[in-house]
Structure 1
Amino acid sequence: MTEPLLAGALAEEATKKSGLIWVRGADGGTARPLWHVWHEGAAWLVGDGPVEQPFPEGLAAGARAEVSVRSKDKGGRVVEWTALVEEPAPRSEAWEAAVAELKGKRLNAPDGEGVVERWAAECRVLRLAPVTAHTELPSGSLAARPVASPATTREPVPDALPRLLFRRKRRR
């Protein structure tokens, strides 16, 4: 009985302290880092607008999402939890309360005080309510393979590089 309670408390505290959470939609695609705010027992997100963060595929009202929370100092995974995605109607009471919190955390908004109007017209505000928390983390890295790109090709190391890097200063 205490294990689910402790896991839920760990998920809440870790999410509150983290600046970003990694969210994977219902389709099981790639997880995206999203800034959020913890408000009234859930993580709230704003995005999918022309200037705001893009949400991962499959993040829709009524769907489930997987949330991974990482440590602020070391970057390692602390906890993962499953969330139920809710999308309150713009200008509803819950929406207004969450947007007031989100507005305070939004850095460098291009329209300053008009951000709330823009969010109501162009963006989606989502509530990720925790359903279950998983304290047993996977043993693998879960790192995605890099996308193929000509920028990732390696050239041989120039012959003079080791001499330049490891040249000792001569004593006089």
Structure 2
Amino acid sequence: MTSEPPARALFDQALIEEATKKSGLIWVRGDQAPAARPLWHVWHDGAACLVGDGPGEQPLTGLTDGGAAEVAVKSKDKGGRVVTWRATAHRLAPGSPEWEAAVAELKGKRLNAPGGEEITARWARECAVLRLVPTGVAPPPAGSLAEPPLPTPATTRSPVPAALPRLLARRRKRA
């Protein structure tokens, strides 16, 4: 005999795990953050593991130990939202068995890591390693979630100079 709530909870858990495993980035908004941020992660042992808040690493703005977070997972191929789930953030203590296991997974997925072999020692000294443990699926959002972009020192694209199309046309004729 099966009851409806446990079956729904298992479905939600499977959806969260599969969608998050397949996604390269997750959008995370901590309870202290004004907006969601894209973060790279690794799914390990029933939670999304993140590393950041150190030099050369992603900012974990608004995520505090024991704090709540909302995680949006998008489809890798279509870009649409697959699921939004609630989580509790847990900071892992450097050197603990949980930290070692999470860092081993994160190290394998970290692209272009400065320091190479010394990365785990640097993460232990200078960074935070967090686990986002799912607590349930969030209800679908009402309306558009479009927000203005976060401030950045990056420059925007300037208009194309008026003479550029003519210059490019000349190059094509010569070739």
TM category, shorter: 0.7 to 0.9
| Residue type of the alignment partner of 2:140 | L
Q: How well do the aligned residues superpose, as a CA RMSD in angstroms? A: 2.7
Asked if 2 retains the 8 angstrom alpha-carbon contact of 1:48 and 1:124, the reply is: yes
**Runs ≥4 residues deviating over 6 A:** none
Written as runs of structure 1 = structure 2, the 5 A alignment for 1:57-136 is 57=62, 59-134=63-138, 136=139
Show structure 2 runs of 5+ residues with no match: 163-175
How far does residue 47 in structure 1 lie from its aligned partner after superposition?
Answer: 0.2
Matched, 1:144 2:153: no
How far does residue 85 in structure 1 lie from its aligned partner after superposition?
Answer: 0.6
Count of residue pairs brought into register by the alignment? 160
Task: Give TM-score, length-normalised by structure 2.
Answer: 0.81
How far does residue 139 in structure 1 lie from its aligned partner after superposition?
Answer: 4.2
Asked if 1 retains the 8 angstrom alpha-carbon contact of 2:65 and 2:91, the reply is: yes
2:167 alignment partner in structure 1 = none
Measured in 2, the distance between the counterparts of 1:148 and 1:96 equals: 35
Per the alignment, do residues 83 and 148 of structure 1 end up closer, same or farther by CA in structure 2, a change over 3 Å counting?
A: closer
Asked if 1 retains the 8 angstrom alpha-carbon contact of 2:41 and 2:48, the reply is: yes
How far does residue 141 in structure 1 lie from its aligned partner after superposition?
Answer: 2.5
Asked if 1 retains the 8 angstrom alpha-carbon contact of 2:92 and 2:128, the reply is: no
Query: SS at the partner of 1:78?
Result: strand
Query: SS at the partner of 2:131?
Result: strand
Show structure 1 runs of 5+ residues with no match: 159-172
Measured in 2, the distance between the counterparts of 1:18 and 1:98 equals: 18
How far does residue 5 in structure 1 lie from its aligned partner after superposition?
Answer: 2.1
* Identity of matched residues, %: 61
Query: SS at the partner of 2:92?
Result: coil
Asked if 2 retains the 8 angstrom alpha-carbon contact of 1:31 and 1:56, the reply is: no
Per the alignment, do residues 22 and 148 of structure 1 end up closer, same or farther by CA in structure 2, a change over 3 Å counting?
A: closer
1:163 alignment partner in structure 2 = none
How far does residue 28 in structure 1 lie from its aligned partner after superposition?
Answer: 4.7
